[in-house]
Amino acid sequence: MTPASTASGVETLARLVRESGCTVALTGAGISVPSGIPDFRTPGTGIWENVDPMEVAHIDAFRSDPVRFWSFYRPRLHSLGGVEPNPAHEALAELERRGLLEGVITQNIDMLHTKAGSERVVEVHGSIRSASCQACDARYELAAVEELFDEDGVAICAACASLVKPDVVLFGEFLPAQAMAEAEALASRAELLLCVGSSLEVYPVAGLPSVTLASGGRVAIVTQGPTGFDSEAAVRLDGDVADELPAVLAALA
């Protein structure tokens, strides 16, 4: 996209946000890349480039080989816990403060929207905020999880000695029903669904733009790389999200 068309797209998106009576953001891994968190599928850098997610991030893998599961997830918890929001997260939080954004639906587990100051965040894949015992439901905040690891590197419940799992949705698990119901309600009410940093490939979340379109709303896409909704988008920006969203915010001033 040329600089001129980029500027035109930013102005168009700012106008759509200004005119919308209900704007909702839907975010994926791409919004956190500028914070230093790799996405999942980019060749050469994606998290799944050198590891099979079915072997380390599936609920069956957690149950059958918790040592291998935690060898992958333990350093990930450490790395994500120290990451800070970037200007894209901050721009969405500011839009909400201005009354121009009703909420954020996110596929990310990194808590960066909350850290940036967003108030209404629907985490459809859970978050690293906590971990829970799979037997007695004891819940541990992120800072306390490190104390639960045994000599094999497996998190064990302090109350009943059963396995503890991060409160994130693994492959093979259903998405939390309450979060998905809220996400679908927001998408159906949205006059503008702002899709940021998502390839819109992973269902059922990838179906939310269809919910908005079917309800008469519009879809705007800000992400690098193609999506299945590009032809239906009212505006499409493909620059760095940490540049594009602050530019939209500035155009609204």
What would the two tokens of residue 219 be? 């879809």
Same domain flag for 52 and 103 = no
Check whether residue 49 and residue 145 sit in a common domain. Answer: yes
Q: What is the pLDDT of residue 168?
A: 94
Within 10 Å of residue 8's Cβ, how many Cβ atoms? 14
At 53 the pLDDT is: 58
Please give the pLDDT value at position 218: 97
Main-chain phi, psi angles of 37, to 5 degrees: -100, 120
d(CA 218, CA 24): 11
pLDDT tens-digit readout, 33-81: 999 887 655 444 445 446 565 667 899 999 999 999 998 888 888 777 7
pTM above 0.75, yes or no: yes
Parallel, antiparallel, or unpaired for β 23-27 and 103-106? parallel
Using DSSP bridges, classify how beta strands 139-141 and 126-133 pair: parallel, antiparallel or unpaired. antiparallel
- Do 72 and 157 belong together in one domain? yes
Task: Output the pLDDT for position 45.
Answer: 43
Angle formed at CA 238 by CA 235 and CA 244, multiple of 5 degrees: 85
Any residues with CB less than 8 A from the CB of 195 and at least 6 apart, and which? 25, 26, 27, 28, 209, 219, 220, 221, 222, 223, 227, 229
Is residue 229 located within the same domain as residue 108?
yes
Q: Which residues of the chain have pLDDT under 50?
A: 1-5, 42-46, 48-49
* H helix count then E strand count, the chain: 10, 9
**Residues 232 and 192 placed together within one structural domain of the fold:** yes
Q: Token digits for 161? A: 């000695």
Sheet holding 218-222, edge to edge: 121-123, 103-106, 23-27, 192-196, 218-222, 235-237
33 and 97 fall within a common domain: yes
Query: Of 168, 189, 221, at which residue does a domain stop?
Result: 168
Domain of 60?
43-82+128-168
Question: At residue 93, what is the residue type?
Answer: A
Amino acid at residue number 171: F
Mean pLDDT of the chain: 90
What was the pLDDT predicted at 192? 98
Closest alpha carbon to 166 in 131, 140, 127:
131
What pLDDT, on the 0 to 100 scale, is given for residue 48?
A: 43
140 and 120 co-located in one domain: no
* Count of structural domains, the chain: 2
Amino acid 1: pLDDT: 42
Residues 229 and 194 in one domain: yes
Residue 54 confidence (pLDDT): 63
**Token duo for residue 112:** 């960066």
pLDDT number for residue 76: 81
| Catalytically annotated residues | 125
Which pLDDT belongs to residue 75? Answer: 84
Query: What is the model's pLDDT at position 79?
Result: 77
Report yes or no: 245 and 92 within 8 Å, Cβ to Cβ: yes
